Amino acid sequence: MQQEGVLPDKICFVATLNACGGALADLRLGKLIHSCVLEAGLESNTVVATALVNMYGKAGCLDEATRVFRGLERKDLVSWTALMSAYSREDLYREALQLFREMTLHGLDGTKPDRSYFAFLLQACATLSAAAEGRLAHRRIQECGYDSSDGVLGLGIINMYGKCGNLRAAHEVFDGMSERDTVAWTTIISGYAHHGHSEESLLMFWRMQQDGSKPDGVSLLCVLSVCSHAGLVEQGWDFFLDITKEFGVEPGEKHYGCMIDLLGRSGDLEAAEVMIRRMPFQATAMNWAIFLAACKVHSDTERGKRAAEKVLELEPVPAAYVSLSNIYAAAGEWDQVDRVRSAMKAMGLQKDPGRSSIEVNSRVHEFWAGDKSHPRAAEIYGLLESLTRQMEGSGYVPDTKLVLLNVSEEQKERLLCFHSEKLAIAFGLLSTPAGSSLRIIKNLRVCGDCHTAAKFVSRIAGREIFMRDSQRFHHFQDGHCSCGDYW
C-alpha cells in the first residue's frame, strides 16, 4: 500500500492494529505500525490511540499501553475500558482500582461499560478488600441497568462484599437472586467461612441442600475448610467420610489437604501424618507444607524435619527452607539454622519478606518489619511505643518465643514491637478519623504476637480492624477476633 504511494489513514491504522494478537511477531508489527502512526501525527487521535492501547495490552506491554493512554487529551469510555481490559489480562488490581477512581472523577457517569469491565472491577475490589470502591461499583452496575442479583455480576458482588467484610450486604444480594445455583451457594458459604462464621456457613450448606442444589467438590471443599478453621474435628470427619457416599464426589488432593489441615490445627499430628502417608495418591508438596505449618505451630521438631525434607524433595522453594530454619530455631538448634541459611544462600534463594499494606486516601502504604522509610516513620514508631505501654498496662505480654533469632529477650521485645502489621495499624490510627475502621492486608500468616496486639489496640483505640492474611480474614473488635484465636 505504502509502496503505491497511498498513505494509511486512521481507519487503516485501527484495522491493522486490531488484527495484531499477543504473539511476539504481532508485537513487532504493532510497534512498526505505531511508528507510522507517529509519523502521521495520529497518536493523539482517540480512536487510533485506543487501538494502540488494545494492541499493547494484548501483548502484555502495560507500561507502553499506559503511556499511550496518558498521552490522550480526550479520553472516551472506549479508551478507558481498553486500558482496564489490559490491566485485567495481567491481574493488575491496584492499577485497575486507580483507573476506576480516575474514571469516576472524569465524569463518565452517563456511560455504560460492559459486563466484563464490572466483573473484573469487582474482582479487584474483592482482592484488595476495597470496600468503598466496591460499593461504588455496585451502584454503577445498578445505574447502568444491569441486573446485579443474577449471573456473573451477582456472584461478583456477593464475593466482593464477603471479601470486604460486609456479610450483611452479601447476604442481601444473595437473597435477591431469582435463581441460586451451586456456585452462588458456595460463594456465600465461603464468605461466612473466611470471616470465622462457622455456624452460618454450615447453616447455609444445609439450606443449600434443602433448596435442591447438589453440593459439588468445590462446595464440599469449602465446608471442610470451615470445619478446619473452626476446630470442628468430628464434623469435619463426618463430612469427609460422606463425600463419596452421600454426595457422589471422589475426594481429591485438596479435600485431603483440608483434612490434613484440620487434624494438624487440632494438634493431632500423628493422625495428620498417617493421612498423608495413606492417601490414595502421592502427597503433593502442598500437602506436606500444610503438615509442616502445623508442626511449626505445635513445636513438633522431629515431624517438622520430616515434613520439610519431603517438601524440599518435591518442590525446593524458599518457604520450605524458611520453615525448616524456623523449626530448628524454635528448638534452639542454631548450628542447624546456620546450615539451612547457608544452603539457601548457596542456591540463591531468598525468603519472601513479610509485608503489610493499608490504603488511605486512595494511596496504598506498605510496611516491612523495622521499616523506617515511610515519611511519617517517627510518628508511627512513637505511637507504637506509646501503644505498647498502654497494652502492657492492660495485660499484654510480648510473645518473645515467636522471635526465632539468637538474641536477648529485650532485643526480642524490641523486634516484636515493630512488625509490619503493627506499623500498618499505627499508620492507620494516625491517618484516619477516630472511630473509623482499618483494613490491612498481610502477604503471609499474621504473626501470633501481632494478632494479640491487634485485639488490644481494637479495645484501646475503639477501632474495628479488618486484617486479611494468607490464611483467612480477621475482624478485631473490642478486644476480640472473629477467628476465636484459632487460625
C-alpha cell at 377: 516513620
Alpha-carbon distance 292 to 273, whole Å? 10
Rounded (5°) CA angle 392-397-400: 135
pLDDT at 25 exceeding the cut of 90: no
pLDDT-derived band at 351 (thresholds 50, 70, 90) equals confident
Do residues 30 and 20 lie in contact, with contact meaning Cβ atoms separated by under 8 Å?
Answer: yes
pLDDT-derived band at 6 (thresholds 50, 70, 90) equals very low
Contacts of 289 (CB under 8 A, 6+ apart): 307, 311, 319, 320, 323
Coil/strand/helix, residue 60:
coil
pLDDT-derived band at 440 (thresholds 50, 70, 90) equals very high
Instruction: Please spell the DSSP secondary structure of 413-430, one letter per residue.
Output: HHHHHT-HHHHHHHHHHH
C-alpha cell at 444: 503471609
> 389 lies in a domain?
yes
> 385 lies in a domain?
yes
The least confident of 408-422, 456-470, 471-485 is: 408-422
> 175 lies in a domain?
no
> 425 lies in a domain?
yes
| Residue 6 Cα distances to 2, 9, 51, angstroms | 5, 9, 21
pLDDT-derived band at 5 (thresholds 50, 70, 90) equals very low
Do residues 142 and 126 lie in contact, with contact meaning Cβ atoms separated by under 8 Å?
Answer: no
CB atoms within 10 A of CB 343: 15
| Highest-scoring range by mean pLDDT, 272-281, 319-328, 334-343 | 272-281
Alpha-carbon distance 318 to 352, whole Å? 8
DSSP 372: -
> What pLDDT does 407 receive?
63
> 138 lies in a domain?
no
* Domain coverage including residue 449: 355-481
> 440 lies in a domain?
yes
Q: Mean of the pLDDT values across residues 77-84?
A: 89
> What pLDDT does 8 receive?
65
> What pLDDT does 200 receive?
93
The least confident of 13-17, 165-169, 354-358, 389-393 is: 13-17
356-387: per-residue pLDDT in tens? 999 888 788 999 998 899 999 999 999 999 99
| Residue 201 Cα distances to 129, 180, 295, 463, 482, angstroms | 20, 16, 28, 26, 14
Higher pLDDT, 318 or 205: 205
Report residue 113: phi and psi, to 5°: -65, 160
Do residues 219 and 182 lie in contact, with contact meaning Cβ atoms separated by under 8 Å?
Answer: yes
> 423 lies in a domain?
yes
> 265 lies in a domain?
no
pTM exceeds cut of 0.95: no
| Residue 449 Cα distances to 28, 397, 415, angstroms | 53, 9, 11
Alpha-carbon distance 322 to 477, whole Å? 32
pLDDT-derived band at 466 (thresholds 50, 70, 90) equals very high
pLDDT at 75 exceeding the cut of 80: yes
Give how many domains the chain has, as a whole number: 1
Alpha-carbon distance 399 to 416, whole Å? 8
190-240: per-residue pLDDT in tens? 999 888 889 999 999 999 999 999 999 999 999 999 999 888 999 999 999
| Residue 229 Cα distances to 118, 128, 173, 185, 471, angstroms | 32, 22, 26, 19, 9
93-139: per-residue pLDDT in tens? 989 988 888 888 776 655 688 888 899 999 999 988 888 889 999 99
